[in-house]
Amino acid sequence: MANIPTEPIGSIPRPLPLLSAIERSGPEDPALGPMYAEAVKDTLARFEATGSPVVTDGEQRKYHNFWTYSVHGLPNTAPDGFAIPFSAGHVRRMPRLTGGPFRYRRYADAYLEVAQRYTDRPLKQAVISPSALSLMYPAAGIPGYSRDQFIADLLAEHEEEMRRCLDQGAFKVQVDFTEARLAMKIDPSGQLLTSFVDLNNLALSRFSPEDRQRIGIHTCPGGDRDSTHSADVDYAELLPILFELKAGNFYIAMAGEPDRARVLKIVRRYLKDDQRVFVGVVSPIDPHVDSAEEVRDRVLEAAEYVPVGQLGTTDDCGYSPFSDDTSTTRETAFAKIRARVEGTALASARFAS
């Protein structure tokens, strides 16, 4: 039987008591340590119970979100940076860098090291892309700290984080590149997206072909409070250049697409021989809990276009990329993950040799 691999994206909604405690005393109060540990432990136990062959810590300690966890709390930032408007009407803002040098405050391998204490399953670790963090540098520049210096520091910090995660034994390291589709919305000429891909390729070029088989890229139209930031941008604008990234794996939101066949044809055309595409088969922002049969049919649909040896499945996005997003319950998230795992197995069985 062909084994179609299946992997999560990353985040799982945080337990509500943890969110309340963070609201009361701030995310870094040492007294919250046992609550964070319990959240990670419970997340991994529930992940295992779904049968998921690859698990994550649910990003329980990524505060505030998947985008800024590495820089949250840096003294040389101000809160009025890049704004992401979502279709639900709200805006998420990123920090703005106010002075050099640029350094991460924390690396994601610290999360991985904790998660490994609670599971023997292969663990995926997601990290933020250099292109997302590049938006921290203000358009007006910073006196005495040029954009070129910033980019050099940014690439060094990203490389350090990636190597730490690989060395720590991550089964996959996933670079979150949610701003790819958004880039086409901000700049329809495609120049911004091209500059993002070039920057991320500068980073990926520092890794060996073997490393790159453990490195993946996630792209999606965003997912926060059951809404998106760039679903109106046509994948046809994005996917051809996306597969130019020097990574072995691509995790692409697909379940929420209105015309999947059209997108899958584009994937087939641009996917390279040494790349695997994990297509999203459940949508975290859709409250409907999919049946395993619904998922199976989406996998079989994808297999009509993508060679089964280069196909995998995933969730369209994390279940709460922003830590305070409570629009999905933990129960719903794991029910959808279970459907993904079971539906992918049903589809794999169709390819029995």
Applying CB under 5 A, the residues found at the interface with Zn ion are 178, 220, 317
| Beta strands 96-97; 91-93: pairing state | unpaired
Q: How far is the CB of 161 from Zn ion (least distance, A)?
A: 19
The total number of residues shown for the chain amounts to 353
Q: Contact at 8 Å (CB) between 305 and 265?
A: yes
Q: How far is the CB of 190 from Zn ion (least distance, A)?
A: 21
User: CA separation (Å) from 254 to 85, 165, 192, 298?
Assistant: 21, 27, 23, 9
For 25-91, give the DSSP string: H-TT-GGGHHHHHHHHHHHHHHHHHTT-SSB--TTTT--SBTTTTTTTT-TTEES---EEE-TTS-E
Q: In angstroms, what is the minimal distance from the CB of 209 to Zn ion? A: 26
CB of 11: closest distance to Zn ion in angstroms? 9
Please say which residue, 62 or 96, places its beta carbon nearer to Zn ion: 62
User: Residue 336 and residue 282: Cα distance in Å, rounded?
Assistant: 7
**Nearer Cβ to Zn ion, position 77 or 328?**
328
CB of 236 to Zn ion, least distance (A): 19
Measured on CA atoms in the order 206, 211, 212, 215, is the torsion positive or negative?
A: negative
CB of 312 to Zn ion, least distance (A): 16
What's the CA dihedral at 152, 11, 313, 193 to 10 degrees? -30
Nearer Cβ to Zn ion (9/19): 9
Three-state secondary structure of 133-196? HHCCCCCCCECCECHHHHHHHHHHHHHHHHHHHHHCCCCEEEEECCHHHHHHHHCCCCHHHHHH
As given in the structure block, the two tokens for residue 72 are 């949250």
* Nearest distance from C-beta of residue 201 to Zn ion, angstroms: 20
Nearer to Zn ion, 220 or 277 (CB): 220
CB of 210 to Zn ion, least distance (A): 26
